[in-house]
A = this chain, B = another copy of it.
Amino acid sequence: MRRLLFLWLAALVLLGGAAQAATDEYGVATGQVERWGTYEIALDGPRDGNPFLDVDLAATFRQGLREIAVDGFYDGDGRYKIRFMPDTVGQWEYTTRSNRPALNAKTGRFTVVAPARGNHGPVAVHNTFHFAYADGTPFWQVGTTSYAWLHQSAQSQEQTLQTLAGAPFNKLRMAIFPNNDVPLPDQRFPFVGTPPHNWDFERFDPAFFRNLDRRVAQLRDKGIEADLILFHPYDKGKWGFDRMPGAVNDRYLRYVIARLAAYRNVWWSMANEFDLMKEKRMDEWDHYFKLVQAGDPYGHLRSIHHSVRLYNYTQPWVTHASLQQGAAVEDPERAVIYRDVYEKPVVFDEVKYEGNIDRRWGQLTAEEMVLRFWNGAIAGSYVGHSEIFKDTDSRSWLGKGGTLRGRSAPRIAFFRKILEQSPQEGLEPIDKWQEHPFAGRHAEYYLGYFNRARPTAWPFVLFKTGLQDGMRFRAEVIDTWNMTVTPVDGIFTIRKRDDYTFADQDGRAIALPGRPYMAVRIIRVR
């Protein structure tokens, strides 16, 4: 029976491979589609009046007893679209609903096949403090930020994608609205109109959003999550996108969801530095969160990024904390506090930036940038990078994307490799609140990081949880800056030392080179 099941599963996988769904230039499929791919229905409909306001369009997707309702959107030129991300293989069918006959009661069916290699589904919270893709593969968040790369020239956008292809980052924070202090050679905007102030807030510009779709799909195909920043304060009234009426904000959010929720790599960041948007009250943010939560059929990750004042991340509609704090990740005992408080994954999306500008948030050395990733990991949390170097056309990677000049990225790549070798459950602090800079999994795996200290030895002593006399471990010394992993000779056999710790039975220590940024990794041997 088990053997039959296995054969059946194997056949299914083969079929999935063979039935590889084609995608168009926006990364969406219209024939059959892979699991967690984007299936699209395209319909011709009315061009009269204002289709963005006058036409309601939705579809219900069904498989067996499951029904999922999805909103459609107007894509300009009389074209309407409905996008859907199926989360199971097999036959699906749909029926459209509209207040216009041309779009109403259209039905269809399609086949969902197994995901192609590299498609692990959307990322969700895993094991309280961590992330995993829908197929169970851990997602070790190693982020970066480039606010307005989408608003640069096509050539610059391509360059950014090329840079990301060779960079260690698996999540990119990016804004939908432009930044007032970043040049905009592209001059495309989410609304129809003429900059700076002459906008028709009742008509989206499909050309802008088609480019957004395409870029999100390209990130997806590179294995990069797109953390879409839905609002931000960097407009400063230049175009007024930071102070649109509430009804416009609602419509904008629904349009973004209808277009983009069916891309598996989307995360929703309600805002960057929300507390600097003085036009909005706290309860408006709650409202936008709830709107996105209700409107997104797939439950993509939702958070909000702050400047000084924190949002209440304990709210049930927040999936993880997206924090700005440069000092917390200088010390795991600081960083872990946010985990304790929120009982959710903690992502330090902004920890100051590598760079050389005058502002103190943009002058980290590469060493200090990398150190923050390590401390974040030891606290069982996640960190984001960016860089900002003095530049003739301002803001470099942080603002515009393009190329990376900093020296942190290769070390972050090394860091990510170590991270991905950690236990699937995620790195958990081993003995928090005790000045013990180790994370891992009790009795199995320990990663210790010595931060700026320059120890010449680390006595082989482990915190007691899960340990027993006679357990055996091997060890490696990791130079996080010079990117080396050096195995330590021999096996360490432990014995209870006191009420709290076990130590190597021969009292051995591991020699360290007296340099900063060193780590050790201890792995159980059976």
Q: Which residues of B contact A435 (CB under 8 A)?
A: 327, 330
A325 to B337 Cα, complex, angstroms: 10
Chain A residues 313-364 with CB under 8 Å of chain B are 314, 325-328, 330-331, 333-334, 337-338, 340-343, 358-360
Chain A residues 476-526 with CB under 8 Å of chain B are 499-500
Oligomeric state, in copies: 2
Question: Residue A471 at the B interface, CB < 8 A?
Answer: no
Q: Which residues of B contact A360 (CB under 8 A)?
A: 434, 499-500
User: A352's closest neighbor in chain B, by CB?
Assistant: B433
How many residues on the A side are at the interface (Cβ–Cβ under 8 A)?
Answer: 25
Give the interface centre of A310, A328, A341, A499 by most chain B CB atoms within 10 Å: A341
Q: Which residues of B contact A333 (CB under 8 A)?
A: 327-328, 331, 334
Chain A residues 370-395 with CB under 8 Å of chain B are none
Least Cβ–Cβ distance between A143 and chain B, in angstroms? 20
Question: Residue A137 at the B interface, CB < 8 A?
Answer: no
Question: Residue A312 at the B interface, CB < 8 A?
Answer: yes
A310 to B331 Cα, complex, angstroms: 20
Flag if B434 contacts A310 (CB, 8 Å).
no
Give the interface centre of A331, A358, A433, A500 by most chain B CB atoms within 10 Å: A433
Give the interface centre of A333, A340, A360 by most chain B CB atoms within 10 Å: A340
A343 to B500 Cα, complex, angstroms: 35
Given known contacts A331-B334, A334-B333, A340 and B434 CB-to-CB distance under 8 angstroms: no
A435 to B334 Cα, complex, angstroms: 12
A326 to B434 Cα, complex, angstroms: 8
Give the interface centre of A326, A328, A434 by most chain B CB atoms within 10 Å: A328
Least Cβ–Cβ distance between A452 and chain B, in angstroms? 12
Main secondary structure of the interface of A (DSSP, over half): loop
Q: Which residues of B contact A499 (CB under 8 A)?
A: 358-360
0/1 interface trace, chain A 128-149, chain B, CB 8 Å (1 if under):
0000000000000000000000
Flag if B326 contacts A433 (CB, 8 Å).
yes
0/1 interface trace, chain A 13-37, chain B, CB 8 Å (1 if under):
0000000000000000000000000
**Cβ-neighbour of A310 out of B330, B341, B359, B433 (below 8 A):** B341
A500 to B361 Cα, complex, angstroms: 12
Q: Which residues of B contact A358 (CB under 8 A)?
A: 499
Flag if A310 contacts B500 (CB, 8 Å).
no
Chain A residues 298-321 with CB under 8 Å of chain B are 310, 312, 314
Q: Which residues of B contact A326 (CB under 8 A)?
A: 433
A338 to B343 Cα, complex, angstroms: 14
A342 to B333 Cα, complex, angstroms: 18
0/1 interface trace, chain A 42-70, chain B, CB 8 Å (1 if under):
00000000000000000000000000000
User: A342's closest neighbor in chain B, by CB?
Assistant: B341
Q: Which residues of B contact A433 (CB under 8 A)?
A: 325-328
Q: Which residues of B contact A359 (CB under 8 A)?
A: 499
Least Cβ–Cβ distance between A290 and chain B, in angstroms? 17
Least Cβ–Cβ distance between A341 and chain B, in angstroms? 5
**Cβ-neighbour of A312 out of B310, B314, B337, B434 (below 8 A):** B314
Least Cβ–Cβ distance between A335 and chain B, in angstroms? 9
Q: Which residues of B contact A337 (CB under 8 A)?
A: 328, 334, 337-338, 341
**Cβ-neighbour of A327 out of B325, B330, B338, B434 (below 8 A):** B434
Chain A residues 271-296 with CB under 8 Å of chain B are none
In the complex, the 5 A-B pairs of residues with the closest C-beta atoms, listed nearest first: A327-B433, A337-B337, A334-B334, A341-B341, A327-B333
CB pairs A–B below 8 angstroms (19 shown): A310-B340, A310-B341, A312-B314, A314-B314, A325-B433, A327-B333, A327-B434, A328-B333, A328-B433, A331-B333, A333-B334, A334-B337, A337-B341, A338-B341, A341-B341, A358-B499, A359-B499, A360-B434, A360-B499
